[in-house]
């Protein structure tokens, strides 16, 4: 049981670690368009991201798929850029479509982020006899950390949109612009490290 909590803590710590801000920025870009009253839409969105990264986290950790770490590390900030730029296409916050394209982004980009998480997890596993338990508890830790990040984003959104009365569209654009600036910097740094 100790191993369960060790890997749970490592997964939680990995997602909320500010040195791994790329995953936090992605969740920010993904969820900025929603407020607390949109919780059902956000639940579907976050679940699609979870499904995506759980699939590739498992496949990569079990060594059934493999991609160069440098390529994955470059693709992660690219997912932030695409998601944040897509936010500039939002004109209304009446989400009439049952399955908006952001759900596809979330699922597909979750696959990429799962490969990034797996590089870290594989380095932790070493010579573990069975990786299924650590894989499950690490993934659960990631999800708990992700829920914390989403909760903080919702609180910040509430403060700016509901209390400070900043236009929801303006708030989305400013937040997305910040995400784009950081992601562009990450892309450039990672391109330089590949070259």
Q: How many domains in the chain?
A: 1
pLDDT in tens, 80-110: 999 999 999 988 887 666 667 888 889 999 9
CB of 97 closer than 8 Å to CB of 44: no
Please give the Cα distance from 160 to 152 (Å, whole number): 12
Nearest to 48 by CA among 97, 115, 102: 102
CA separation for the pair 169, 166 (Å, rounded): 8
The more confidently predicted of residues 97 and 26 is 26
Let me know: does 27 contact 149? Beta carbons within 8 Å: yes
Mean pLDDT, range 34-45, rounded to an integer: 88
Query: Which residue blocks in the chain are alpha helix, DSSP H?
Result: 2-16, 21-31, 39-61, 69-87, 101-125, 132-157, 168-194
pTM score, whole prediction:
0.91
Q: Which residues form the domain of 189?
A: 2-194
């Amino acid at each position: 049981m100790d191993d369960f909590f060790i890997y749970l803590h490592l997964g939680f710590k990995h997602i909320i670690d500010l040195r791994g801000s790329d995953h936090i920025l992605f969740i920010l870009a993904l969820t900025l368009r929603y407020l607390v009253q949109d919780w059902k839409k956000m639940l579907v969105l976050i679940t699609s991201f979870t499904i995506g990264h759980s699939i590739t986290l498992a496949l990569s950790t079990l060594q059934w798929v493999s991609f160069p770490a440098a390529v994955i590390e470059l693709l992660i900030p690219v997912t932030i850029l695409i998601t944040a730029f897509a936010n500039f296409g939002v004109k209304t916050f009446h989400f009439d479509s049952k399955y908006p394209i952001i759900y596809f982004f979330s699922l597909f980009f979750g696959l990429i982020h799962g490969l990034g998480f797996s590089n870290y997890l594989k380095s932790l596993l070493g010579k573990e006899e069975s990786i299924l338990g650590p894989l499950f508890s690490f993934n659960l830790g990631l999800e708990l950390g992700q829920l914390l990040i989403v909760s903080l984003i919702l609180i910040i959104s509430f403060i700016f949109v509901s209390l400070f009365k900043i236009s929801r569209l303006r708030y989305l654009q400013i937040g997305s612009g910040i995400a784009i600036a950081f992601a562009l910097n990450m892309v450039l740094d990672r391109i330089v490290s590949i070259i």
